[in-house]
Copies of this chain bind each other. A is one copy, B any other.
Amino acid sequence: MSAYHPLTEQEAIELAQSLSNFFPEGAKLQSREIGDGNLNLVFHISDPATGKSLIMKQALPYAKVVGESWPLTLDRARIESEALIIEGKLAPGLVPQVYHYDADLALTIMEDLSDHVIMRRGLIECGRYPKFANDISEFLANTLFFTSDLGMNQQQKKLQVQNFINPELCKITEDLIFDDPYTVSENNNFEDAIADEAEALRADTALHLEVALLRQKFLTNAQALLHGDLHTGSIFITPESTKVIDPEFAYYGPMGFDIGAVLANLLLNYAGQEYWSTEDRAREEYRAYLLDTIQAIWTQFDQKFRALWDEHGVDRMANETEDFQNFYMQSLLQDSIGYAGCKMVRRIVGLAHVADIDKIPDPEKREKAQRLALAIGKALLKWNRKAASIDEVLEIAKKGV
């Protein structure tokens, strides 16, 4: 019989207290449940006397999204915990530290990052994060390179693939990102004002071919251990620090899916900024900052990934074959652009939206932001297999509707 049950706050405190060498013995701990209750319980446990605190995240055996509830494997807690530990080794300081994992309770105890903000909120408030491009490009280059056949023992990598088979969470992505937005589905969710856009998506056969190709890659291409859900709601940030959280969708997939997620969420904010900011000049400056950030992320990722390859590449054919690295990096850019497009489209017409756009109060401005995001997303999708430079993404974004 499994010992699993959702913890009460009192049980959470007792478990935290039993963690050796974290809180002083006899500390009077406080607990706040800060999760949204849709997927996980999240306890913030602190000792007011010393100011020490930690986060306890427990998976719930179901998912609730927009009112729907369906059963969901607790194995995702193991995957999240193991992925965090791997990412922490490969990209030190860029993920929360894991203190403890309890398999029976599907529970991870980790570093408290309450001094950070969720990046999505930070971007909506026009925050600037001068370290972000450097940090996220390092996170992407290190985690993707060193879990791939380029950077780790290729037989060990196969065992990693085996360990990160993640059918239930992959299925969510396969449905919500690579299928529903392009057909009539109960999972779709869009405002009446853009019903014409949703209909156009269903009829656009050239677009469907690109999505179908990217879907096949997502299903079959075990290139590297992905975070699997790397949007700006999975990033905690300050001007000095970046922490990637919540890798419960981790699995072996195409690298461009993670890179594209970051680009897409910056572009979604870009599309929303058009209508958020009240002052024209500030708005234009912030939008330029977002595009500069996108360019810096790809450019630095490309440099760092190539440098890792040159220094640590394990595959003789990949290392010594002229032009192979250039070919590989261009494929990564193309995939990243394609996946960015998929992710923008689904955030406008699919089940789960983003606050960057949905919280724009004025309905007309919101509609325009939605149309802009869709225009950029579709253009990225139609361009992806032809892409040769990140500059082309910036041009597409600047061109607008």
Contact = CB atoms under 8 A, between A and B. Distances in A.
Interface string A320-342: 11111001100000000000000
Contacts of A315: 215
Interface string A192-223: 00000000000001001101110110011111
Contacts of A168: 155
Contacts of A209: 321-324, 327
B219 A154 contact: yes
B162 A208 contact: no
A171 interface: yes
Given A155-B171, A165-B162, A168-B155, A183 B221 contact: no
Given A212-B324, A324-B209, A165 B161 contact: yes
Interface stretch (A19-27, A174-182, A237-245, A269-277): A174-182
Contact of A221 (B179, B220, B316): B220
A158 interface: yes
Interface of A: 149, 154-156, 158-159, 161-162, 165-168, 170-171, 174, 178-179, 182-183, 205, 208-209, 211-213, 215-216, 219-223, 315-318, 320-324, 327-328
Given A155-B168, A212-B318, A213-B324, 12 more contacts: A154-B219, A155-B170, A158-B167, A178-B317, A205-B322, A208-B320, A209-B324, A209-B327, A212-B321, A216-B328, A220-B221, A222-B222
